[in-house]
């Protein structure tokens, strides 16, 4: 029927109208994700989440303690099975990109290891769309230039790639040659957080349902910020409009606002997000909505201004309330206590910023 992973439900129903569609259980996924993350962190403190069930783990310097890479991979698989009951695919390589490709190739329960001396040989025969950043448009341009494999891209003249893709061409050339200097960035070093949902059916911009989803995403972001002990100064609203541009593409709008003081409070984040939504004048229905927070700062005692003293008790009460809600969510699940407006329909994110 052509139904595939990450396809919008609306499109999947059109392709397969007689299919059975099962609702997701995001609270359960988050619970298991925490257990998975705990296993990862038992092998290294440097863990960069990619999604609820996927992460990069930096094992640099751990061989003396944990053993050779293949032994570590086997140990991760054993512990994951014992503590969560889950099978896990593991890819071990000198670079993030190669490790991700190996992990994908070893699904659903395999283990692949690649030494640094074989990385170019391994990449060369793979289709060029395996590279990070090669989407539909870039792939079309590469094929038009006669480039179909990673090896062909690696052998291309850098000047030719720059002419077609600008500075991004140089980056692609590096990746194709096995050069990927990007480090594993642990959660506490990340620069932003985000929550997005693609809806089963398009929503009106002014609908209560859309506001409920934004509030639920704001609450989730607040919990994540507090868990990481950081606050965000800038809130960005992202909307994908239900106006097809062709080739599966839709226009995307973003609106941002920077606060005077950074926040980790879901109520404050949702207030900004809804105010940004109210500024949007496009009449289109919405097929995706997301909130991203950035310009992060470590959570430290806040210096109150001379005329902010009156607000201090309110802030203190809200901080204590958030701490209590976080404790309840950690113990009983994230839907234990929510704001009334968000309660009517839980907004399970279809994409969580990694």
Residues 200 and 346 grouped into a single domain = yes
Domain extent at residue 333: 192-352
**238 in any annotated domain:** yes
Give the end of a domain, one of 89, 115, 141: 115
Residues 203 and 342 grouped into a single domain = yes
What pLDDT score does 286 carry?
Answer: 95
CATH number at residue 205: 3.30.1490.100
Residues 196 and 306 grouped into a single domain = yes
Residues 87 and 172 grouped into a single domain = no
Residues 99 and 246 grouped into a single domain = no
**18 in any annotated domain:** yes
Residues 26 and 157 grouped into a single domain = no
Residues 129 and 215 grouped into a single domain = no
CB 237 within 8 A of CB 283: no
**37 in any annotated domain:** yes
3-state class percentages of the chain: helix first, strand second, coil last, to nearest 5: 45, 20, 35
**237 in any annotated domain:** yes
Q: Largest alpha-carbon pair distance within the chain?
A: 67
| Catalytic residue set | 54
Cβ neighbors of 114 (< 8 A, separation 6 or more) are: 91, 92, 93, 94, 98, 102, 122
Beta strands in 26-89 (DSSP E): 47-51, 54-57
CATH number at residue 151: 1.10.150.20
**2 in any annotated domain:** no
Residues 198 and 315 grouped into a single domain = yes
For 306, other C-beta atoms within 10 Å of its C-beta total: 5
User: What is the residue-level pLDDT of the chain in tens, covering all 354 positions?
Assistant: 888 876 777 788 889 999 998 877 777 877 888 889 899 989 998 998 887 788 999 998 888 889 999 999 999 999 999 999 999 999 999 999 999 999 999 999 999 999 999 999 999 999 999 998 888 888 999 999 999 999 999 999 988 898 888 888 999 999 999 999 889 988 666 789 999 988 888 999 999 999 999 999 999 899 889 888 889 999 999 999 998 887 778 899 999 999 999 999 999 999 999 999 999 988 889 999 999 999 998 876 555 554 554 545 556 677 777 777 777 666 665 555 666 555 444 444 555 554
**258 in any annotated domain:** yes
**181 in any annotated domain:** no
Number of domains forming the structure of the chain: 3
Residues 132 and 221 grouped into a single domain = no
Residues 204 and 337 grouped into a single domain = yes
Residues 237 and 137 grouped into a single domain = no
Residues 172 and 204 grouped into a single domain = no
Specify the pTM: 0.63
């Amino acid at each position: 029927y052509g139904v595939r992973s990450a396809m919008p439900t609306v499109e999947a129903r059109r392709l397969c109208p007689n299919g059975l569609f099962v609702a997701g259980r995001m609270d359960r996924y988050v619970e298991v994700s925490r257990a998975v993350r705990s296993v990862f962190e038992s092998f290294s403190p440097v863990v960069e989440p990619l999604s609820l069930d996927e992460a990069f783990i930096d094992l640099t310097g751990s061989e003396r303690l944990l053993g050779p890479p293949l032994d570590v991979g086997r140990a991760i698989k054993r512990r994951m099975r014992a503590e969560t009951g889950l099978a896990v695919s593991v890819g071990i390589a000198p670079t993030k990109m190669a490790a991700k490709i190996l992990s994908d190739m070893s699904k659903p329960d395999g283990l692949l290891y690649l030494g640094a001396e074989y990385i170019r040989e391994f990449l060369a025969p793979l289709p060029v769309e395996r590279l990070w950043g090669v989407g539909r448009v870039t792939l079309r341009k590469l094929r038009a230039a006669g480039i179909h494999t990673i090896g062909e891209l690696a052998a291309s003249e850098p000047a030719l790639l720059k002419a077609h893709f600008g500075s991004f061409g140089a980056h692609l050339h590096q990746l194709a040659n096995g050069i990927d200097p990007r480090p594993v960035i642990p959660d506490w070093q990340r620069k932003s957080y985000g929550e997005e949902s693609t809806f089963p059916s398009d929503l009106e911009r002014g609908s209560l349902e859309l506001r409920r989803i934004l509030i639920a995403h704001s609450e989730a972001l607040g919990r994540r910020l507090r868990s990481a002990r950081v606050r965000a100064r800038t809130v960005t609203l992202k909307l994908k409009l239900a106006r097809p541009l062709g080739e599966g593409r839709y226009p995307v709008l973003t609106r941002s606002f920077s606060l005077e003081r950074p926040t980790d409070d879901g109520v404050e984040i949702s207030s900004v997000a809804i105010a940004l939504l109210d500024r949007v004048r496009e009449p289109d229905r919405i097929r995706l909505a997301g909130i991203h927070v950035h310009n992060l700062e470590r959570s430290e005692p806040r210096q109150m201004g001379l005329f902010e003293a009156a607000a201090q008790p309110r802030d203190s009460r809200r901080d204590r309330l958030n701490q209590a809600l976080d404790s309840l969510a950690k113990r009983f699940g994230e839907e234990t206590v929510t704001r009334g407006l968000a309660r009517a329909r839980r907004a399970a994110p279809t994409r969580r910023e990694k």
